[in-house]
Amino acid sequence: MDLKDYLDSTALQVDRLINRYFGNVAGELGKASAHLLLAGGKRFRPALLLLSADSVRKGSSIDVMPAALALELTHSFTLIHDDIMDADAFRRGVPTVHTQWDEPTAILAGDVLFATAFEFIAMADTPDHAKVRAVSMLARTCVEICEGQHMDISFESRGDVLEGEYLTMVEKKTGVLYASAAGIGAILAGGKPAHADALYAFGKGIGMAFQIQDDIIDLMAPSKVSGKDRASDLREGKKTLISIKAKEKGLDLESYQKPLTNTEIDDVIGQIEESGVLTEVRDMARGLISMGKQRIAILPASEEKQLLMDLADHFLARSF
């Protein structure tokens, strides 16, 4: 099975579980909680958890499927709250939860998904001691995600954000959830500590690269492709690796913190490309992918290990 087939198959399995548990929820809060889940998604985090499980014990993915769904619930909870803080109107091609309902309902909807994620971890068909470790890892991950999001917000009022600070923020905001997906998959499958640690590090590296690529997509992709407002990071003055490196090269992006036409967005993209910023940013993402791959070299050769490597490469190649 190639990566596309695997991701399509996994997404279908996850979608079926989502429809089973959230497709006919009662009440407005339930519907708000299910809104983004039912809007689709690539389901990369569940796929990473399942691949990691099978890479340390082939066939274990069926036992840990509820945990895979838990990672998607966690991701969705962060998106709902992130959209509130960023005042974004669309996500995955549909109105954001706070736009469709209101901010208090959206906050509560995110909280519901956060709590439910731990319930699904507990549903995995694995030993209790492994589930305790997995719950602990997910809890710590959620704390770090909040820390990363707070850093991201605090950067908006600063003009002196350094590259190292940005990378720490990305590690916490995005990297650790991918790390947790891979680590939890290995733990629940009964993997050796060294293998679980390697997969955790792999997930963190490719997760950070994913976020850097996401920043590029936010700038480059039209809304109909990305499902989000085009160049929202630029308009909101977010400090990304792109803006940090642009400033180092003397490009002033602050003047673009306003409603922008497509012509204005195309103009700034041209300036950023000409300066070499995008090349440097892509190189950074490529380096993180390479380091992640090196960490899982200790895993025994398997179809799942190769799919993990292919997934890492896909994170760089994707355009939405």
Tens digit of each residue's pLDDT (9 = 90 or more) over 256-298: 778 888 888 888 888 898 899 999 999 999 999 999 999 999 9
CA dist., res. 267 & res. 199, Å (int):
41
The two structure tokens encoding residue 124: 């995995």
Tens digit of each residue's pLDDT (9 = 90 or more) over 26-62: 999 999 999 999 999 999 999 999 999 999 999 999 9
SS3 of residue 179 by DSSP = helix
The two structure tokens encoding residue 46: 């569940």
- How sure is the predictor about 224, in pLDDT bands with cuts at 50, 70 and 90? low
State mean pLDDT over 149-155.
91
φ/ψ bin of 59: left (φ > 0), alpha (ψ from -120 to 50), beta (otherwise):
left
Do residues 268 and 256 make contact, with C-beta atoms less than 8 angstroms apart?
yes
Tens digit of each residue's pLDDT (9 = 90 or more) over 233-259: 888 778 899 989 998 888 888 877 788
The two structure tokens encoding residue 269: 């993209």
Q: Nearest-CA neighbor of 292 among 303, 308, 281?
A: 308
The residue ranges of DSSP E strands in the chain, in sequence order, are 90-91, 94-95
pLDDT mean across residues, the chain: 93
Superfamily of domain 3-309: Farnesyl Diphosphate Synthase (1.10.600.10)
φ/ψ bin of 25: left (φ > 0), alpha (ψ from -120 to 50), beta (otherwise):
beta
- Residue 227 reports pLDDT greater than 80: no
Bridge partners (DSSP) of residue 95 are: 90
CA dist., res. 81 & res. 87, Å (int):
10
Q: Nearest-CA neighbor of 71 among 109, 105, 114?
A: 114
Phi, psi angles (nearest 5°) of residue 94: -125, 160
- Residue 144 reports pLDDT greater than 90: yes
Q: Which residues fall within 8 angstroms of residue 38, CB to CB, at 6 or more apart?
A: 18, 19, 22, 23
- How sure is the predictor about 320, in pLDDT bands with cuts at 50, 70 and 90? low
Domain locations in the chain? Answer: 3-309
Q: Nearest-CA neighbor of 235 among 273, 270, 262?
A: 262
So what's the pLDDT on residue 157? Answer: 84
Task: Give DSSP secondary structure letters for 138-172.
Answer: HHHHHHHHHHHHHHHHHHTT-S---HHHHHHHHII
Rg (CA), the chain: 19
